[in-house]
Amino acid sequence: MLPDECVGLRLDQALARVFPQFSRSRLQAWLKDGSLMVDGSSPEARRAVRGGEAVTLSPPRHTGASPLAQPLPLAIVHEDMEILVLDKPMGLVVHPGAGNPDHTLMNALLAHAPGLALVPRAGIVHRLDKDTSGLLVVAKTIAAQTSLVRQLQARTMGRTYTALVWGSVRGTKGVVDAPIGRDARSRTRMAVTERGKPARTDWEVIERLPDATLLACRLESGRTHQIRVHLQSIGHPLVGDPVYRRGAKVRPLGGFERQALHAARLELVHPRTRRQRVWESPLPDDFKRLLKIFRDAGPA
């Protein structure tokens, strides 16, 4: 029943107060499809609340076509009833798509926790590129997914990456604040463009190496290929990046065949306990070997 303090509010605003675990857009969708009933009907979201209306919510099962559940190795860092944090290896695609119909992280998650078939996108709330390694969080319930998405939107979820870039970056820390959108010349690439969406990346130097710099990069937004595009835009593309790179390879990379980017630290507020949690992931072996190549080398 809608309380008297909601009188005069839009119906969707009042419902968001009564059901804080769900996003307002999701509640609006449920009003439209009849999953959420008010006094036995499905009124428009903008209707004003009179007070005392009876509310019945029957969240629908997720009916999207679920990918095949496929048992694949998962490096699980933390798991409870609400969330799962894992350390994704390089080479693993996060969800099925063109050219990758199966054997993705999503397929593995559905085999590990079949209940994720009831959560949109199998609980995946943010992605890592195929050849980016590191930490990623998955929601195991719709309520947890809503909480994590809100943290991403509010930029309160901390995601820090370790990146090795070509060249000597000037200064010790800085910010790249530039909108990112589709590259007008290639639809498979992203680029800094005035037509893009706001994007901000903070960076700080960890170590200076011959012809390269090791950085810690913190995302304040989550655009596709954000770190790769932003660092290229300031003249320091990621070592090994096959897409966002400068012309010629500067030195042999010892078989390292991906962008040198690792999701090293994840900070979030747990959806149930409301406590701040932090996880860290050490650099994978291939990244360590790459750093040794640069440390052992003289000037290029």
Catalytic residues: 129
Concatenating the DSSP letter of every residue in the chain gives ---GGGTTSBHHHHHHHH-TTS-HHHHHHHHHHTSEEETTB---TTSBP-S---EEE-PPPP-S-PPPP------EEEE-SSEEEEEEPTT--SS-BTTB-SSSHHHHHHHH-GGGGGSGGGGB-S---TT-EEEEEEESSHHHHHHHHHHHHTT-SEEEEEEEEES--SSSEEEEE--EEEETTEEEEEEE-TTSB--EEEEEEEEEETTEEEEEEEESS--TTHHHHHHHHTT-PBTT-SSS--SS--S--TT--S--EEEEEEEEE-TTT--EEEEE-PPPHHHHHHHHHHHH----
